[in-house]
Amino acid sequence: MKRFAYELSESWKIAVAQMRSNKTRSTLTALGVIIGIVAVTLMGTAIAGIQIGFDKSMAVFGDDVLYVEQWPWKPVDDWWNYRDRKKIKTEYAEPINRMIAATPNSNLVVAVPTSSLLRSVKYGQSEVSNVLIRGTVSDYLITSTFDFKEGRFFNELESRGGANVCVIGYDVADALFPSEIPINKLVLINGQPFKVIGVVSRQGTFLGLFSLDSIVVMPLPAFQKYFSAKSDSDVLVKVKDKTKLAEARDELTGIMRRVRGLPPEKKDDFSINEQQALKSTLDPIKSSIAIAGLFVTGLSLFVGAIGIMNITFVSVKERTREIGTRKALGARRRTILLQFLIESTALCLLGGFIGLGIAYVMCNGIGKAFPSFPIHFSLGLVMVSMIVSILTGLFSGFAPAWTASRLDPVAALRYE
């Protein structure tokens, strides 16, 4: 064991001396690994960033909320079966809530109706178009996570009475009130004035597709009064215990069938959606992006590894006599194997460190230049890169090191 430690430290010394005496060669060889590690690391940060963005987007739906909608959250082949379904109506919320109240030990808490469409919002000379206008009730806060930057959500009284009040998203506030406080100002939607009573904090985008901050929420009766035509409605139902999501789903299905008055032989004519289902639909897409990305960048690392393998073979060839001498002096096969493995690993580690440094700088640069670009640099990634570098070194060094360890000392000593 002690001898192993001495051999190990000796091998490290040789490896470092070797790299220093062949600076150009070592640098050029390490360059392959540097490029490989930069590529793999950047890909890793991008994948981590996508994952974080994905999780954030998914969190918007809440993991304990069921969505009663016409369409399911997954691709369907028989779209015509869904197209002719009856629309979901906001009025369903009331019977659902009644039935929840009537069920002992119900897994459901409350049903919240929402109705949405796209309109532009005006204030003075400014106008924002394609804002999601949503009508709902005060219980909406139970099913959705909203942080308020300023002001508040509408209360039950305003909700029932259909007061002309609204809560605006971060982007809307930003566009319409760049230098004013929006609270108590009147905005025009479809020519109707609404008083701003709250501003929601920044929510970000959904999978980078659309902004979650371009939104206006108002009481449902007010919404129906002015925008009922062509709006999409659904019912959100909060679940009591998210570990019993399946039971809650079954219960809600039963309730919805009764609301729709479906006889037992008929199929459901509505969809109950949840975050988890959406996740499992989107996860494979995300995974294949990750795998494809890592494969392509991994190829560049592989090319780097071949470079290291090649140079280690050259090194073994050049130092055949040295290997013979070492063997004559008592170096065992393992010693020689270790020596060359460490040389290739040291090269790869050097490349790994430099590559990681470059990747770090690039990540920061990209993060500064494009804040919306999903990139996430983590300690875990650093560890993985280092481990990948070491594995690359072992992989690329093994064949030459094995050759060296098997050299016949007599032939090696005589080698010119």
Nearer to another protein, 262 or 413 (CB): 413
Tokens read off for 124? 């003075």
Query: Smallest distance from the beta carbon of 324 to another protein, in angstroms?
Result: 8
- Candidates 291, 318, 333, 383; binder of another protein (CB under 8 A) is 333
Nearer to another protein, 18 or 159 (CB): 18
Nearer to another protein, 138 or 325 (CB): 325
> How do 126-136 and 215-219 pair as beta strands?
parallel
Q: Which residue has the tokens 């709250």?
A: 198
- Candidates 89, 258, 266, 334; binder of another protein (CB under 8 A) is 334
Nearer to another protein, 1 or 229 (CB): 1
Told to check if 317 binds another protein by CB under 8 A, we report: no
What would the x/- binding string for another protein be over residues 357 to 396, using CB under 8 A? ----------------------------------------
User: How many positions of this chain bind another protein (CB under 8 A)?
Assistant: 26
- Candidates 89, 98, 152, 332; binder of another protein (CB under 8 A) is 332
Only one of the segments 83-91, 289-297, 321-329, 394-402 lies at the binding site for another protein (rule: CB under 8 A); that segment is 321-329
- Candidates 325, 358, 373, 394; binder of another protein (CB under 8 A) is 325
360, 362, 367, 372: CA torsion to nearest 10: -120
Query: Smallest distance from the beta carbon of 312 to another protein, in angstroms?
Result: 17
- What DSSP element (H or E) covers 28? helix 23-59
Nearer to another protein, 238 or 319 (CB): 319
Told to check if 318 binds another protein by CB under 8 A, we report: no
Told to check if 343 binds another protein by CB under 8 A, we report: no
CA–CA dist 363, 377 (Å, integer): 7
CA–CA dist 197, 212 (Å, integer): 19
Told to check if 299 binds another protein by CB under 8 A, we report: no
CA–CA dist 310, 318 (Å, integer): 12
What is the CA angle 341-347-349, rounded to 5? 95
Told to check if 410 binds another protein by CB under 8 A, we report: yes
- Torsion sign, CA atoms 148, 151, 156, 158: negative
Q: Cα–Cα distances in Å, from 350 out to 40, 110, 267, 382? A: 16, 59, 64, 14
Q: Which residue has the tokens 């650093």?
A: 382
* Of 207, 231, 185, the residue nearest 59 (C-alpha): 207
Q: Read off the amino acid at residue 220.
A: L
Contact residues toward another protein (CB under 8 A) are 2-3, 6-7, 10, 17-18, 21, 321-322, 324-335, 408-410, 413
